[in-house]
Chains A and B, each alone.
Chain A
Amino acid sequence: MTTTAVRTLALRFTATARLRRLALVAALTVLGAVVTAHGELLALAAVPLVLLAARPRRALPTHLTVTVSLDPVRCVEGDELRLTVDVEAPDGAVDRVEAEVDLPGRTTAVPLEPDGARAAGWTVVPTRWGRHLVGPVRLRVVAGGGLYVAPLVVEVGDIVVFPAAAALARAVAPRELAAPLGEHASRAVGSGVEFAGVRPYQPGDRRRDVDWRTSARHGDLFVRQYAAERAFDLVLVLDTSTDAGPPGSSTLDLTVRAATGLAQSYLRAHDRVGLVTFGGPLRWLTPATGPRQLYRVSDALMSMRPDAAERDAGDVGFGLADLPRSMLPGRAFVCVVTPLLDDRPLAAVRLLLDRGFAPLVVDVLTNEPVLRRRRRQRVRDELALRTWRMHREALVGELAGLGVPVLDWDGEGDLTGALKHAMRAGEPRLRT
């Protein structure tokens, strides 16, 4: 999707330093010539006087046509956008038009190679997910031989940068599935395509289901059975209380990427995906399926920001216990994505266990706090760091004690294998 705008803008020129300096030199020289009665000094005055007289103010252009286009306006982190600026002015009326663009944080712009056309621009690369305002483009129109300059400001617009999804080779699911009409082979026997076993023939069985090899071996008729294909409900519970770590690979970045990857993979497999955020204001998105749900999830993820006021207000807004039943359907698989920086995730897991779910915790903390350099501060910091590590270990230990698998994810590995293990084996601690 491209955004293009053509605008005819009025120019409001102001005098440049060049005009003032030329006027100063002309006035000084004429004054000097008059006072000292030296006519030859007028030769020096001739230079600024001619330059000033050749470009009167009334000859300046009054309007300029500017075309700004941004392509595309929706992208994924690291994608390249093309921002071009084209200026149309009467021939010779303008000496130079310079352009600068204001960019959001963690976004770079590289000038486009000139291709002979009038338009110039930048390749813009946003490296952080979210809704960002690109621009405005600030133009500086120099006219009248550099004697006048007019600033122009052209707004560009918002871009939507979707988070880069976590790698997930395929959408794995537990064997016990309740929802019908899906793509995951369940333990129940049904009319899928995955082989589930053989059983003795019964009247009414289809002839094409007869397993002739087994029948021949046993001397009696046997038929093949197939696994029923069921859908899967995935509820992503995201801890948005903190954003720790370097921008680009902070805990919130990894949380969003993990959630995006999971939601994409499972929605593609026609599963239902829901979303709950806690830590800040409690928000939820009832599980649903289809491409529209993917946009809803993306929208919800991109509006996530740590809210210190909500976080520091204790349990205000936590309220997982009060979530409607439709939000957490029975037999849904709950995946809690959290940096495990305080006790809230533990409380959330306890609530989920109380409601009969067996959640998986994905730990997205990749960096430890940085120690200060001064020796005295460092000693205190090291002590604090040890305490912090012990607290985290205790937290993980407590989760393991509750039978909740904890998966460390640093944003690089494929989550498929670990998820499969977590769903089917329930190992206490897994590493990708």
Chain B
Amino acid sequence: MRPLPPRAVVRDVTDRLTVVATVAAGVAVAAVPDLRRPVLTAGGAAVALAIAAAVTRLRALGTLAVALTTSSVLLAAALDASDLRPVQVVAAGVLLLATLSALERTETPLGRRPGAATPLVVLRGPAASRLGVAAAAVGASALVAATAAQRVVPSVGLVLGGLVAAVAALVVTTRAHRDETANDGPDVHESLSGRVPGDRPR
């Protein structure tokens, strides 16, 4: 395995620490101010999994850590909704996003050899479009949280309508990412001397 240059080592350690820190912060946001045993248990497990994911770089552990962090927030809300203020939910959402980004930086992308040199970035898209979508997501979250915090007399219809809208949003979003055959182009293996059928033995 090729040794990493010092700057890359610092970046790698920072990314790993960020994974643990964001998961811990997400759990803390969900757990305070009323520390309950189930929330603490789920949160503790999430932090432990985050540490394991940061150390081993295993994708499955990272996904489990994210799932457990989400579960901690859900548990905190389920046990006592009055404990979880809208701002906490939004903060938890932002921290989850940060966790996802940190996990991606820590994990080795599929197909890349562990310990291989840092790949060269040939093209980078505009930062405004990436950050814009993230800001819109946080804004939408804040809007939903603010709406949910309104003191209105709850009715069955209102609650059901909201939940149906959420499920519909989930279904629509899932459909938007259904695999389409339009993107199944031909084999992408190309050569300077023309197309080649497959991987050439080295």
Contact = CB atoms under 8 A, between A and B. Distances in A.
A145 B132 CA distance: 10
Contacts of B70: 24-25, 28-29, 44
Interface in B173-202: 173-174, 176-180, 182-186, 188-193, 196, 199-200, 202
B183 A11 contact: yes
Interface string B112-125: 10001101111111
A32 B78 CA distance: 8
A363 to B, nearest CB: 34
A25 B96 contact: yes
Nearest to A95: B125
Interface in B67-99: 67, 70-71, 73-74, 77-78, 81, 84, 86, 89-90, 92-94, 96-97
Contact of B199 (A3, A36, A47, A153): A153
Contact of A40 (B111, B149, B170): B149
A49 B104 CA distance: 19
B120 A98 contact: yes
Nearest to A100: B119
A102 B113 CA distance: 11
A213 interface: no
A62 B182 contact: yes
B62 interface: yes
A10 B202 CA distance: 24
A34 B166 CA distance: 9
Contacts of A11: 183, 185, 188
A97 B200 CA distance: 23
Interface stretch (B7-15, B16-24, B31-39, B133-141): B133-141
**Chain B binding surface SS class:** helix
Given A57-B178, A96-B123, A118-B123, A40 B190 contact: no
B119 A95 contact: no
Given A9-B188, A11-B188, A140-B119, A54 B136 contact: yes
B100 A22 contact: yes
Nearest to A36: B78
Interface stretch (A83-91, A313-321, A323-331, A401-409): A83-91
A95 B101 CA distance: 14
Contacts of A100: 112, 116-117, 119-120
B103 interface: yes
A424 interface: no
A120 interface: yes
Interface string B153-170: 000000100110011011
A51 interface: yes
A47 B192 contact: no
Given A27-B170, A53-B173, A42 B162 contact: yes
**Chain A binding surface SS class:** mixed
Contact of A37 (B92, B116, B163, B177): B163
A97 B170 contact: no
**Chain A, interface residues (CB within 8 Å), range:** 35 or more
B3 interface: no
Contacts of B178: 57
A39 B66 CA distance: 21
Contacts of A259: none
A308 interface: no
Contacts, number: 264
Contacts of A22: 100
B126 interface: yes
Interface string A399-426: 0000000000000000000000000000
Interface in A255-269: none
A150 B187 CA distance: 12
A155 B137 contact: no
B169 to A, nearest CB: 5
A9 B74 CA distance: 44
Given A58-B180, A86-B122, A12 B169 contact: no
Contacts of A43: 86, 89-90, 93, 141-142, 144-145, 148
A246 to B, nearest CB: 19
Given A17-B63, A26-B170, A46-B140, A10 B186 contact: yes
Interface in A129-181: 133, 136, 138-140, 145-147, 149-157
Given A17-B103, A39-B148, A10 B185 contact: yes
A385 interface: no
21 contacts: A17-B63, A26-B170, A37-B159, A40-B148, A43-B144, A46-B140, A50-B133, A51-B137, A52-B177, A53-B169, A53-B172, A57-B180, A58-B182, A92-B125, A92-B129, A97-B122, A100-B119, A118-B123, A151-B188, A155-B192, A157-B191
Interface of B: 59, 62-63, 66-67, 70-71, 73-74, 77-78, 81, 84, 86, 89-90, 92-94, 96-97, 100, 103-104, 107, 109-112, 116-117, 119-126, 129-130, 133-134, 136-138, 140-145, 148-149, 159, 162-163, 166-167, 169-170, 172-174, 176-180, 182-186, 188-193, 196, 199-200, 202
CB-based closest 6 A-B pairs: A10-B185, A43-B145, A155-B191, A56-B176, A40-B148, A50-B137
Given A93-B125, A96-B121, 18 more contacts: A16-B104, A21-B63, A23-B174, A24-B67, A25-B66, A32-B78, A34-B163, A36-B74, A40-B86, A41-B89, A47-B97, A49-B170, A50-B133, A57-B177, A58-B176, A99-B119, A133-B202, A152-B190
